[in-house]
Structure 1
């Protein structure tokens, strides 16, 4: 939203006429509905002390994203906002003279035109990627028009990452950061110390979408750390017929703390379009975690609908739901762990008195299986040429031949 006058706000993308009607949220329940928060050219006096603390909690506890762009009012020094930002804040009176003058004054060094410089981290960051190919990405960045004006901050905080910096201006032997990020608690924060990225939209050809691409990637990165109030997890990525499916639902209350007082019902729609309802039980060992399980007997897609009725404190009641799906394939148990298990084969061979060979020792196989002595075999060598039964067989054959000839009248 945009403040257009005293107690007057221009709002976009609202879901109800009352949303943000009184300005910035005044309660955690109201603020925590959002996944990211962007402040641009705003003074510290716009907020009260509770709202400033809420913003810090929104990032650290809710896991939301926070971005401050353009001028950062000195009034934020020593406030929770200063803790959240990835850069330290410093009063202008402490700066050297050439860094004073403000972010938009073209007569001052801080207000001049400049081409931003990507740091080593920035060159490989997905936040600043304009093309998948490195050379093409470099060309697109070189084609962007200049920015104008930079707000001077202090040192980069430990753990923060600078993605873009001023090519000329420095403070305390450190290039002035233009875009810095860090993780803060469960969330993320960004400092964008220029308010002129609009030039990449207005000063570029209408077909160029670099400005849109950069802001989409930045906002997506900010919001990705913010959890939903209900998340569903499965114990496996896929299932076969006959498997047991273990389902875990994590529920957060209106202030995004674990909710142990919710009532959960799970509706399962199997591939035959048969719907079954079952409760999910709270896991007493884990706050906000509820579990259920069942055996799948049909192949195909299973649709789940988890309905949550929460009652975690006054003003935090409500009903909401979460959908999920998983696929069941034919049973492949016969092919499970089909890879060769050399250790198992060696143990079987040892237990049965055999020998295990791998590919490297295959040359010894022929010599080993030629003769394997054991308690039930004996080697015996017999010469057949001087055996009595062989002589008797030959005489019998000759006699049989003589008798046959005599019966036929042959000589």
Structure 2
């Protein structure tokens, strides 16, 4: 403290007030000893006055609560963080050599040793997360989250010694988390990047996609389409193989593309029995291929016993119905019929159902913009009976002036409204996924759309919605208004054994028309409509406790989202339960810890529980779940999912020099090839920083003040006694 650059004393209370108090104490002390009996010598009287004043002074100082503040300025050498990419792609061998050997040589290089000698440095490894580097650098990460690693690094050095520079050693491929180039704009230190690998694509065959419908039917043909790409094999011929639950079904000779183009190979499959079937397409590894891990993909299809009938009801043909029919009829296993409230006796393919028996002829019903017409003809009552009998119905509201608040619709609609409260609002908006929508199979869309939230955000805006006051009991919102979260745009509700889906928005047809008109992709709209049909067709099969994953098949390293739905005996969402799960690999022959996980799901909203697994090993996995409430077991449920060898990490393994150059240029660093690592040392110029350390210490509770007060008081008492003073 005494070597500080500056020292200051601050007081909690006003110095004027306490100065006045000290002045009064001094006057009182003087007057107390001005006349004494017996008289005392001036010297002794002066000592008594001084001792009493010192005692008063100690009390005043303690009451003032003084704080001593001082500042020290010191030189600090900023630290260097060295980040080593430990993902699986760093273990490969390509035309640049064996990456393991390159990394080993870099760690033992003179350049790295000189940096560690001349600067305070910390070393980290990263794949899906950042961790301090141990002596052994394991290259087995299933993901590369470079952006997340840089953000975690900023947090690590938010306190303590400052960060002066970052050395990032990687192949530049990032396949998980935040974009590292975007994160680089937020870094305030230079990043020097070192690239490992060959920037030219290696010889490799990749099964980029495997597309199949979620539901198929016995003795009904359906296609499985495999998208295959290749580099470096010219027009080499090979064989694509199709397996069903491990049994070979078909094979096709194909000519491989040479420059990474994707060719589609279609297998026509006719299932002969119902159940869930795992279909797998693979291409044998060829000589010189970088890795065979990405030569196969799998998908799962639920095989149902017969073709399903869907009825679409409307006031008359319109754009919403036209595009809905187009989407549903892309599934050859759906028999989609229409019925309209027309003047003729028969408008559309069939007559409008008016009774439970007539509704029961269909497996699911879509009612598009005809709430008023259904109410006027008492069809809403028959529809409610149909739902209670296990049917599936979708209501699409298109701007009806009045919902016709009836007891029947109150029991059907998934939202709350009162008579006169429903107002149709014209508004341009794009709905957003809710927490439940992120994991529900309807809005999770399909395997070909890996980021549903991004897919919805790119859609054209809707043109209006019904202003309602909230969700009904048991309803779940999957899409909501971006500015009015209480307004559901797509919601679902289970009514007895039946299922109801509600779409609150006009202009949904634009989601198919606009992209198609501009040569875009209508897969989001089609997947949403087909997903809704699959969900409605499962009505009557619901259990009180259901656990499931957002996808049936995952790529190695891909995040797994697990969700559970729990309902009570009245079929209402049950909150406050504890959902514990055991997840184990059914193909494992060992009791290894890595083959078993115990997780507790977190409740997101009423009756909905979720958790996430950032990555999990390859194999067939089984989820065994138990629901408990107040230590009483309620129900058990299970689910299966598959993690295939195809890895996100191995999808693109060439050296991405552009990304590494961009990161270094944005931050003021520089890019180097691994062989030029010796040039790195001369580029690092980190000057010491002056750091101001501000310190403070309270003095009012210092024991020295108490000791002074006691000594002054005792000294005065002793002198008074010796002087025969009372």
TM-score by length of 1: 0.44
Structure number with bigger Rg = 1
Q: Pick 1 or 2: higher relative contact order, CA cutoff 8 A, min separation 6.
A: 2
TM-score by length of 2: 0.26
